[in-house]
């Protein structure tokens, strides 16, 4: 049986674009579809869209509806995102008694969502719906989607983020400028703006304000999928492993192989650095020696190649430049480019040049623990550190690979060589690397 990736539905093109960006930036591969606005949009999508067909979405496929919602609970602020624990059908066109749906997929802190068939635009109407239904959020698609998903036998869930809180009114004409499929109705938009030019400025403001909540919804989708579903791995990934490799030891190759296997990467790019901006002293071996030792150390690693671009570039090395070049040259999506770093590098990552750009747009971070840190201890440290920086701390914790830490470093290898204990290096180095060190007299006193 073919295992399909999760399907993520969003009512509008704006929601789809931002949620796709947020989910993909976390290294999750999924299929996306624009399902349209309101119950009619959901039913039209279910009847006509190829992604909803039994061939593309058979029973047991994971399907998640995600997007914006109105806040009904006065305690919920703009940008609050949550998974639905229950969907209450509260629209006028639903049969009585009003059905309730419990999603098979929901987080530990889910909320009740009221599914309606018309916009609930005013604070007064929101308050009345909150009192009548007990729901925390309201949207126009969840109830119809729950009915379809249950009938199809999907493993489904709903994730929503607050775009307008319980105290806010929203203009009724917002829905009028959208087609039923969720795309912008250009003629209607033109008429709306011509009727009141101030609405253009308001639309731009709404688009800007809702990006934050949509990113929060995307993060919630990613967390839900990571916690409850075994995701099919991305194929053809590329692992980037940089360092001074002064010298490269056997643990370097072991880590690269284990990480590539865990992340389902077919290619490993080994990037010996030139001058690292975070190191106080230059490498002990020359750049030419380090390049050649890297080639020898990784020669037998399947899919590995040594890339000399940082040394060729000269000067100070910045990983952000290398990743930009690799993405362009290999025409890779960000979720298929993995940056492998150690625990020390991870804890100092906020000192890297354009570190947020690397994390959010260029690569998926993968981290290997090193003694005295165990993987679980490192996860706790990373979660606290990056949550304090305004990042997704849980995602950083999940970036730690389940690879057993081993206390072996290039610094220790150099110290042994400098002490004249080259024979003791045999268990730590590839034989051809050890021979290179001996032949070239590297690290000797």
Residue 172 is predicted with a pLDDT of: 65
CA-to-CA distance for 76 and 109, rounded, in angstroms? 14
Strands 111-115 and 81-89 come out as: parallel
Give the three-class secondary structure for 282: coil
Q: Are residues 166 and 103 in the same domain?
A: yes
Q: Are residues 316 and 384 in the same domain?
A: yes
Which residue ranges of the chain lie beneath pLDDT 70? 1-3, 92-98, 107-109, 171-186, 188-189, 192-193, 199-209, 228-235, 275-283, 406-408, 419-424, 445
Report pLDDT digits (tens) over 360-374.
889 999 999 887 778
247 preceded by a cis bond (ω within 30 of 0): yes
Which of 187, 211, 228 is the last residue in one of the domains?
Answer: 228
Q: Are residues 263 and 193 in the same domain?
A: no
Q: Are residues 161 and 243 in the same domain?
A: no
CA-to-CA distance for 375 and 372, rounded, in angstroms? 10
Q: Evaluate whether residue 1 is within a structural domain.
A: no
Q: Which two tokens mark 162?
A: 């607050």
Report pLDDT digits (tens) over 248-307.
988 899 999 999 988 889 899 999 998 655 554 444 788 889 999 999 999 888 889 999
Burial class (CB in 10 A: 0-12, 13-18, 19+), 313: middle
Strand order in the sheet with 265-272: 304-306, 265-272, 237-243, 337-342, 364-368
Look at residues 429, 12, 27, 19 and name the one whose alpha carbon lies nearest to residue 233: 27
Residue 176 is predicted with a pLDDT of: 64
The total of other beta-carbon atoms located within 10 Å of residue 208's CB is: 9
For residue 77, give its domain range. Answer: 7-228
Q: Are residues 363 and 259 in the same domain?
A: yes
Look up tokens 């750009």; give the residue: 357
CA-to-CA distance for 111 and 88, rounded, in angstroms? 11
Q: Evaluate whether residue 61 is within a structural domain.
A: yes
Which of 228, 255, 271 is the last residue in one of the domains?
Answer: 228
CA-to-CA distance for 148 and 45, rounded, in angstroms? 10
Q: How many domains does the chain have?
A: 2
pTM (two decimals): 0.50
Give, as one character, the DSSP assignment of residue 341: E
């Amino acid at each position: 049986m073919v295992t399909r990736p999760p399907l993520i539905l969003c009512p509008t093109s704006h929601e789809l674009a931002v949620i796709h960006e947020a989910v993909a930036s976390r290294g999750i591969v999924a299929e996306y579809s624009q399902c349209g606005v309101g119950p009619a949009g959901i039913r039209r999508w279910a009847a006509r869209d190829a992604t909803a067909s039994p061939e593309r979405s058979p029973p047991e496929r994971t399907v998640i509806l995600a997007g914006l919602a109105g806040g009904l609970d006065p305690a919920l602020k703009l940008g609050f995102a949550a998974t639905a624990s229950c969907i209450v059908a509260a629209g006028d066109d639903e049969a009585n008694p009003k059905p309730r749906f419990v999603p098979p997929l929901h987080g530990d802190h889910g909320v009740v969502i009221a599914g309606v068939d018309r916009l609930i635009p005013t604070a007064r109407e929101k308050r009345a719906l909150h009192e009548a239904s007990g729901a925390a959020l309201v949207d126009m698609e969840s109830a119809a989607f729950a009915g379809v998903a249950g009938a199809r036998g999907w493993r489904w869930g709903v994730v929503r983020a607050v775009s307008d809180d319980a105290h806010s009114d929203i203009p009724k004409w917002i829905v009028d400028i959208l087609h039923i499929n969720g795309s912008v109705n250009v003629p209607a938009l033109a008429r709306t703006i011509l009727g009141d030019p101030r609405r253009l400025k308001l639309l731009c403001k709404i688009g800007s304000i809702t990006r934050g909540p949509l990113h929060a919804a995307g993060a919630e989708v990613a967390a839900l999928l990571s916690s409850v579903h075994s995701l099919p791995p991305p194929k053809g990934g590329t692992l980037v492993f940089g360092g001074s490799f002064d010298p490269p030891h056997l643990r370097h190759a072991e880590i690269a192989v284990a990480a590539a296997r865990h992340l389902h990467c077919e290619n490993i790019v080994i990037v010996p650095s030139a001058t690292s901006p975070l190191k106080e002293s230059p490498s002990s071996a020359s750049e030419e020696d380090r390049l050649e030792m890297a080639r020898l150390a990784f020669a037998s690693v399947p899919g590995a190649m040594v890339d000399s671009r940082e040394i060729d570039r000269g000067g100070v090395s910045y990983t952000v430049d290398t990743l930009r070049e690799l993405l362009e040259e290999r025409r890779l999506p960000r979720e298929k480019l993995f940056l492998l770093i150690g625990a020390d590098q991870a804890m100092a990552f906020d000192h890297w040049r354009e570190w947020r750009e690397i994390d959010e747009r260029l690569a998926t971070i993968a981290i290997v623990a090193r003694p005295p840190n165990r993987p679980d201890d490192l996860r706790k440290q990373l979660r606290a550190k990056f949550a304090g920086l305004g990042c997704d701390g849980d995602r950083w914790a999940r970036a730690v690979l389940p690879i057993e830490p081993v206390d072996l470093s290039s610094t220790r290898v150099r110290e042994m060589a400098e002490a004249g204990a080259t024979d003791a290096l045999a268990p730590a180095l590839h034989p051809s690397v050890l021979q290179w060190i001996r032949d070239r007299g590297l690290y000797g006193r």
